[in-house]
């Protein structure tokens, strides 16, 4: 008998889950391989993008690091801004890592959440780092371990954020109300952006893609650019939360990614139905993906390529049963090894011990 799906937030309509699944199935544990990746890519509507007209906007050094601010065009919207960090004075090709910034309800900033540029971080970024990154700009710490680390903005964040004047008036008004209440410009903007993501997803789906598909397309373009550099060797990716979601998608859709590290972004879909849907970004729910595979199956779809998943045992955004089921699903996709799933005594965060573990894992699989 099929396992029931619990959807308490639907109240009297909880039976919708069972009716929707009847005869067609939901959340299948799909076998890894090209067929699954193609089907998932089609469901998400991943855009085919390239990083064009790449420019070095400025360079700087800070202590033992050297940085470049880059910009490029993906063919629509403002130019993407990115930071490339590497050890100062490093010679020869370095292993590369695409470090993917989180969602965290903060869209005023993107890459700055995890990487320092030539100037100091904003108070809002400093606050966020203290909450979920152990107070660190972890991309710089990773670069100090001998990597070339690329951190870029994507659709909706930082240099790619939507100006308030193009948002519907009631949405933009949320920002003005926030300022009148004493919020900073950045915090007030993020209040409006939270409402705007629903509209952005509607536009994406109407245009045959999804927010996940558009962001994945931009991440694929960034990874391809990083690999194209003569000073970069093998390339992997890492991210927390929404950044971990992006890492899983990038790993699924880019066969040239050498290793994927996902922090605090893993659960089976089935357990999310029980009061954990609303807490997450639209990027976790590409239309049609739930009929192609469960989320952990997609993360494991490139097996046996190395995959690290870090779970927070006190993660308030994911149910423990969902994390355990995900770990079991991914383990079955890696019968001969290559997957490491680690449960940390941590909340929804990329703590310093989690970072250090991920850095060592990336060094082992990419060489540094």
Q: What is the mean pLDDT of each run of 10 residues along the chain (368 residues)?
A: 78 89 87 98 98 98 97 98 97 95 98 97 98 98 98 98 95 94 97 96 98 98 98 98 98 98 98 93 96 97 98 98 98 98 98 98 93
Two tokens, residue 265: 């972004």
Distance in angstroms (rounded) separating the CA atoms of residues 59 and 82:
12
CATH of range 52-160+208-366; options 3.40.120.10, 3.40.50.1820, 3.30.465.10, 3.40.50.2000: 3.40.50.1820
Q: Where are the beta strands (DSSP E) in the chain?
A: 52-62, 65-73, 80-87, 94-100, 148-152, 232-240, 260-263, 307-312, 339-344
User: Which burial class, exposed, middle or buried, applies to 21 when counting CB atoms under 10 A from its CB (0-12, 13-18, 19+)?
Assistant: middle
Whether the CB-CB separation of 31 and 333 falls below 8 Å is answered with: yes
Whether the CB-CB separation of 294 and 248 falls below 8 Å is answered with: no
Closest Cα to residue 168, out of 215, 144, 122, 200? 200
> Helix (H, G, I), strand (E, B), or coil: what is residue 340?
strand
| CATH 3.40.50.1820 placement within the chain | 52-160+208-366
Q: Say which residues have a Cβ less than 8 Å from residue 111's Cβ, sequence separation at least 6.
A: 81, 82, 83, 101, 117, 151, 152, 153, 158
Residues 47-98 pLDDT 10s: 999 999 999 999 999 999 999 999 999 999 999 999 999 999 998 899 999 9
Q: Say which residues have a Cβ less than 8 Å from residue 336's Cβ, sequence separation at least 6.
A: 304
Query: What is the reported pTM?
Result: 0.97
Residues 233-269 pLDDT 10s: 999 999 999 999 999 999 999 999 999 999 999 999 9
Q: Look at residue 154 in the predicted model and tell me its pLDDT.
A: 98
Q: Which letter, b or e, does each residue of 339-356 get, where b requires 16 or more Cβ atoms within 10 Å of its Cβ?
A: bbbeebebebbbbeebbe
């Amino acid at each position: 008998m099929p396992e029931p799906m619990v959807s308490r937030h639907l109240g009297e309509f909880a039976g919708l889950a069972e009716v929707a699944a009847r005869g067609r199935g939901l959340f299948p544990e799909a076998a890894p391989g090209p067929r699954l990746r193609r089907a998932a890519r089609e469901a998400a509507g991943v855009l085919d993008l390239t990083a064009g007209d790449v420019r070095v906007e400025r360079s700087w050094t800070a202590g033992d690091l050297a940085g470049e601010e880059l910009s490029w065009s993906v063919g629509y919207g403002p130019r993407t801004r990115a930071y490339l960090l590497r050890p100062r004075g490093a010679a020869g090709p370095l292993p590369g890592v695409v470090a993917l910034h989180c969602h965290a309800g903060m869209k005023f900033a993107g890459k700055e959440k995890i990487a320092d540029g030539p100037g100091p971080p904003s108070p809002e970024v400093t606050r966020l780092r203290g909450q979920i990154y152990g107070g660190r700009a972890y991309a710089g710490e990773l670069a100090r371990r001998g990597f070339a680390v690329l951190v870029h903005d994507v659709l909706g964040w930082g240099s790619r954020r939507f100006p308030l004047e193009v948002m519907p008036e009631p949405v933009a008004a949320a920002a003005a109300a926030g300022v009148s209440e004493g919020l900073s410009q950045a915090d007030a903007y993020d209040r409006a952006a939270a409402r705007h993501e629903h509209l952005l997803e509607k536009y994406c789906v109407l245009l045959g893609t999804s927010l996940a598909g558009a962001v994945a397309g931009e991440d694929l373009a960034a990874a391809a650019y990083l690999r194209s550099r003569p000073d970069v060797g093998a390339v992997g990716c890492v991210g927390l939360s929404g950044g971990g979601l992006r890492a899983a998608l990038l790993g699924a859709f880019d066969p040239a990614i050498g290793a994927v590290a996902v922090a605090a972004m893993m659960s089976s879909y089935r357990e999310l139905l029980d009061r954990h849907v609303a807490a997450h970004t639209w990027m976790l729910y590409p239309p049609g993906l739930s009929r192609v595979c469960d989320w952990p199956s997609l993360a494991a779809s490139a097996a046996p390529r190395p995959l690290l998943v870090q779970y927070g045992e006190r993660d308030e955004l994911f149910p423990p049963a969902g994390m355990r089921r995900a770990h079991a699903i991914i383990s079955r996709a890696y019968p001969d090894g290559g997957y490491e799933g680690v449960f940390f005594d941590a909340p929804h965060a990329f703590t310093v011990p989690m970072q250090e573990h991920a850095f060592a894992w990336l060094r082992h699989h990419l060489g540094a």
